[in-house]
Structure 1
Amino acid sequence: MERTKKMATIRDVASEAGVSVATVSRVLNGKGYVHEDTLKKVQQAIKKLNYSPNEVARSLFKRKSKLVGLLLPDITNPFFPELARGVEDELQKQGFRLLFGNSDENPEKEQAYIDTFLQNQVVGMISATQTSGLHKGEPHVIPTVLLDRTHGGNYTVYADGREGGRIAARELISRGSHNITLLKGPGNISPVQDRFLGAVEVLAGANVDFHVIQMASLTYEEAEQRAKELFSHYPGTDGILASNDMTAAAVLHEALRIGKSIPDEVQIIGFDDIPMSRLLFPALSTIRQPVYEMGKQAAQLLLKLIKKEQVTEQNIQLPVTFVERNTTRKVKRDG
């Protein structure tokens, strides 16, 4: 059986070229004088051994890596991989790479990832979570951008959740819903709270009845339980505003299971416009956040901080829009 080939190390390169590890380091990092003949020997050794310098190892020599830490709360929610992709694509253009952590909304797990990032010499962090000291006004040891989950930090990128809540409520009312139920996500998650407050602002001033069901988390399992509760406690509901698309999908599934006609009897509006939304049947009407763009702009902002460039806009708010699909009725337009 063929043995797995061992990856070459910087020591292997030094041995092959007949030079010190420090000399190889100077060649890799382009710092310090290296004689032309020695340079050629090292380059030939690198090529012969197919040596690929490890970013973390290089950071220890350079004291300046090209690694960025990214914290996400729940990678199983399709919203966050798209957010991460926007971050990654933008960083990669500038030669930076990501270290990634999934916190599961757990403060201890999140802090452990932050410690790991710092131990691995990251030059900046982007956080889409809301449980660590990063969101409590504590000084940051490295450049940090808060993404999606809050707009109370020094450098933030987020969508206009409150306006999104207003838009969703107006759309349900204009399409004929009079007995509306809101599924309210955890109050400690600021964008979810913003959506709720925006919706209530409109509903409280309209000639409609509305109820609120509190959710302890944004998981699909939690949403399934709350959906059953919704139709049991408020059977007359004819319009539902969900805290996100995952919740809306669970509500849609339960409504169809008990024989509700969508959208004739019950209209449903989600929030996020994750890819799954258009694949549901019927396809989900929702409030679209520019998820990829949010990630991209967070990366751009962080790169400016890392490079100590001038930042003209510290808190970047992006607009949201209503996406009409098949869980809402068509609006009758005059003319």
Structure 2
Amino acid sequence: MNKDTGRRATIVDVAKKAGLSKSTVARVLAGSSNISQDAAERVQAAVLATGYERNHLAVGMRSGRSGLLGLVIPDITNPFWAEVARGAQDQAARQGVSLLVFSSDWDADKEAAHLRALCQARVDGAIINPVADNLADLDRFGMPFVLIGSSAERFPDTSSVGSDIVQGVRLGLDVLLAQGHVQPALILGPKSRLARARFLRAVHEHCIERDVDPSILMTEDSDYTVEGGRSAMKRLLQAHQNGQHLAVFCANDLMALGGILAIRDAGLSCPQDVSILGFDGIPSGAFSWPGLTTIEKDGRRIGSTAVTALYAEIAGRAEHERIYVPCRLLERGSLADLSEMATARLVAKG
């Protein structure tokens, strides 16, 4: 509202307040480069003084852009995907656009319904963690898009952004080895997920490089949830009856947090009896007891990078490449350091 007249402020009000022409004000608001610093500052002050807000619908009709982007993620309740959404939202805000967020719940039909809704909303483009196996299912919606997540690697000729899973898994295994855990057990996701295959392949490659048979590692599959991890850890504890220290590398943090609960349920302690390493870096891992040591995937950076890549796609200058965001170690308290004990055992055997 115009603070002086009590009605909705117009660009004419801004021009009058700034002492500039309407066309100059319009060019300033459109972000034109050939504008003096003085004119830009006068327009900014006039906008604040009048309470002017741009009519994005009218701007979109003139420019062919809606000022809206879409984001379809698989599970909004998973804190990692919430971090991705936050990163995308922050970057979209810096671009002066809004973000519509949908959760597919790993359901291809829901994904398709969300994409139809985004088309109807006339979004300028979409960021998608693809559930559908056929890229044509996405192409038919006729909008620029960028893929995110491990499942995007099924489409190497499409622009995508995701964590460097291989680097992250190798980092986790190197940390475990350095702390004396030479044969960690694994809690993996469902066999239907590409992320599980990528994680397990990285483990196998790491083992083969060390001349270790990967089949000797205990593994359990579960859903990527707290309860899934709790059940998988319970099964591992039942199978591990030799009294030696057990280390477990989980494919995501929710499963790792469930694993800590199962350790407690069994009357054991973490990390005194069982060490556990997560993968994601969700904030709640800092508040568990003990704090969860994990390999952090930078969700916010993935989201913001995806928005930048999407704008390149919209502008028709995308290179259609896979952008890998590196992972890093977050050390807390869920890993016991057995390196001195491992060294002592080697000396004793020698």
Using structure 1 for the length normalisation, give the TM-score. Answer: 0.76
Task: Please name the residue that 2:283 is paired with.
Answer: 275
In 1, the alpha carbon distance for the partners of 2:174 and 2:213 equals 12
Q: In 2, are the aligned partners of 1:239 and 1:268 still within 8 Å (CA)?
A: yes
* Cα distance change of structure 1 residues 125 and 223 upon mapping to structure 2, 3 Å threshold: same
Amino acid at match of 1:200: H
1:151 matched to 2:153:
yes
Amino acid at match of 1:317: Y
Using structure 2 for the length normalisation, give the TM-score. Answer: 0.73
- For the aligned residues, what is the CA RMSD? 3.3
1:86 matched to 2:103:
no
Amino acid at match of 1:231: L
Task: Please give the secondary structure, in 2, of the residue aligned with 1:230.
Answer: helix
In 1, the alpha carbon distance for the partners of 2:184 and 2:90 equals 40
1:326 matched to 2:333:
yes
Distance apart, 1:137 and its partner CA: 7.9
In 1, the alpha carbon distance for the partners of 2:57 and 2:117 equals 12
1:305 matched to 2:308:
no
Q: In 2, are the aligned partners of 1:203 and 1:210 still within 8 Å (CA)?
A: no
Task: Please name the residue that 1:192 is paired with.
Answer: 196
Task: Please name the residue that 1:131 is paired with.
Answer: 132
* Cα distance change of structure 1 residues 275 and 131 upon mapping to structure 2, 3 Å threshold: same
In 2, the alpha carbon distance for the partners of 1:73 and 1:307 equals 27
CA offsets 1:148-188 (integer angstroms, 9 cap, x no match): 23223310111111222222223223322255321111234
In 2, the alpha carbon distance for the partners of 1:239 and 1:135 equals 43
Amino acid at match of 2:196: V
In 2, the alpha carbon distance for the partners of 1:231 and 1:332 equals 22
CA offsets 1:57-105 (integer angstroms, 9 cap, x no match): 8756764311111001111110011101111111111111111111111
In 2, the alpha carbon distance for the partners of 1:57 and 1:132 equals 38
* Cα distance change of structure 1 residues 168 and 136 upon mapping to structure 2, 3 Å threshold: farther
Task: Please give the secondary structure, in 2, of the residue aligned with 1:151.
Answer: helix
Matches within 5 A, 1:126-275: 126-131=127-132, 133-134=134-135, 138=139, 141-149=142-150, 150-153=152-155, 154-203=158-207, 205-206=211-212, 209-215=216-222, 217-236=223-242, 238-275=246-283
* Cα distance change of structure 1 residues 321 and 136 upon mapping to structure 2, 3 Å threshold: farther
CA offsets 1:248-301 (integer angstroms, 9 cap, x no match): 000011112212232232111100111111111111111111211111111101
Task: Please name the residue that 1:111 is paired with.
Answer: 112
In 2, the alpha carbon distance for the partners of 1:235 and 1:168 equals 25
Q: In 1, are the aligned partners of 2:166 and 2:202 still within 8 Å (CA)?
A: yes
Could you tell me which runs of 5 or more consecutive residues in structure 2 were left unpaired when the two chains were aligned. Answer: 1-6, 11-25, 31-50, 344-350
In 2, the alpha carbon distance for the partners of 1:137 and 1:116 equals 13
Percent same amino acid at aligned positions?
A: 26
Task: Please name the residue that 2:121 is paired with.
Answer: 120
Q: In 1, are the aligned partners of 2:279 and 2:295 still within 8 Å (CA)?
A: yes
* Cα distance change of structure 1 residues 191 and 206 upon mapping to structure 2, 3 Å threshold: same
In 2, the alpha carbon distance for the partners of 1:54 and 1:113 equals 26
Could you tell me which runs of 5 or more consecutive residues in structure 1 were left unpaired when the two chains were aligned. Answer: 1-7, 14-27, 32-49
